[in-house]
Chain A
Amino acid sequence: MDWTWFHRLGSPRWFYEKSSVWLPYLWVLTASLLIAGSVWGLAFSPADAKQGNSYRIIYIHVPAAFLALAGYYVMAISGAVGLIWRIKVAELTMRAAAPIGAVLTFVSLFTGAVWGKPTWGTWWVWDARITSMLILFFLYLGVMALHNAFTHEETANKASAILALVGTVNIPIIYKSVDWWFTLHQPATIKFTSESTIDPSMLYPLLIMVIGFYALYALALILRTRVEILKRERRTKWVKALALGSA
């Protein structure tokens, strides 16, 4: 098998130049999906029979939580690729993914608390789902802190990649927590193996928001990786030329 594309992807300069081409399309895609999804979800989809309008926070809560989990795999897999093949871009992607994941986890915890108050009657409860999600938040912060704790970059990449890999255990725990234990949080609504228990008129905008959040995640990841590339390659000729050219 020809592996040149894989090695080319690993070149920071190639990634930077290629992603400049992708970015405008990704901006348009992200903005249109998020605007369409939120307008449909907040203004046009019907109110819930039991919860009324407060259920609409689902259109932020669920996509943010999805990406907080998926983003962890992005971070851990980039960490593993960086660890095994020493591919620079993968190491930088891992660094870039940590704060994005932390923000998404915070958003899902925060919107969950805001949603919990009117529906459950409490902001916070230490059930398995919410606690494991809080652990995910600390894992993201831990990866960031560990990376910053080392002055030597290679050691920092190695250590934080291993922490990220160990933390992957938490993802299936979060996902299955509502089925394995008695929790206050309800089981999953969107199911992959059977029919989802949400009316289609509410499901479609939710799916658009989920895809929109995936696009937003890709956008944020590429933007942050580009910043990391420029920081790391600041002494190379091509970055200097780029800085002088745009100045």
Chain B
Amino acid sequence: MSTVNTLLTYEGIPIWRHVRVIQWMLQIVSAIVIVALLAWFFTNIGNAVQDRDIPFGFTFLDREYQTPIGEHFIPYDSSDTFRYAMFVAVTNTLLVAVLGVIAATALGVVIGVARLSSNWILSKVALVYIEFFRNVPLLVQLLFWLFIVLALPPVRRGFEIADSIYINNAGISFPGPNSGGSFSMTLIWVAMIALGIALGVVAHKLLSKRELVSGRASYPVAAGFAVAAGVAALSWLALAAVGDAPMIVTSPEPAGRFGRIAGGVTIRAGLLILLIGLVIYTAAFIAEIVRAGIQSVGRGQVEAARAMGLSPMQALRHVTFPQALRVIIPPLISQCLNLTKNSSLGGAVGYTDLTNVGITMTQTAPAVSIFLLIMLAYLAMSLAWSVTGNLYNRYISFERR
């Protein structure tokens, strides 16, 4: 009797009532269930792959894709491999994500501030904007813009403004830098611009510190911009002296009999619609985030700033906004993430984003492998946004405590 008791007890408690034993049993059972489920799924997939002769694996990545990609911003040719085509698709999605986030944040901040304006009409206009665009599915909005753009006249009979801006159902063309030279030169120049911006930020930091310490006006913002622009211009001149100029500002002109438009910058219809739709939709959410952030700053802060002689704009810029930013950043990151994921609707408006290219690829390559890669790509992008956002968040909360 006593031996049984000692066998079935643990720290003096019957083992079926001991918390740690129960927890361990639960863990083991759940682990077994999950492993069994996964094993079952994978056996089934394996069987299906064998029975129905569905190809699986990643050897297709080295094959030629042999399908055109409607829009691409790095050189692409149908004879390129699947691997490279996938990369092109990722850059397409990244382009929309980055442009969209910048524009949506700008518009969202404006509307969020307008929502809190003391001006009754402006505030109500912002309210209507937010409540409408936030509550209508993005797909409906995208299709609305799509059919508006499709209803525009074709290229040959399109609108022309001052002989330099062309608007038609293929997109919009306006004067701007055209990557006339070689692609590698452009890449080098873009890298130099990034360097210039980094130097500009450093200059801004140093000068604003000097301004704080000495009290003399040091124009940190202007200096920062000047440094960035200077580096960009100098590197352009240097590259132009070495070989092809990387980018030349040209004006779009009709070329050829079919009214093709050459030169300048052309934003094609697919990208244009996707950006308009995503920006208008996401800006409504960001506006609400900005409003909540600004409202989270105590009234006393603004009143104190006004009492010290700051103008309403200055109070917003130097007192309210820096404090609101700490509340704004985390939900803003999740909106950036949402925008990136929502760009997967590009296929509905004729933009070749990652999901759209992936779906097309499944016609000539194993779907399971492709979607595994696509999921990994999206997860990586999500992670990138989170890391960037969290770093920025840490930076601002450290700066202003």
Q: Do A and B come from one complex?
A: no
Q: Using a CB–CB distance below 8 Å, which chain A residues touch chain B?
A: none
User: CB within 8 Å of A: which residues of B?
Assistant: none
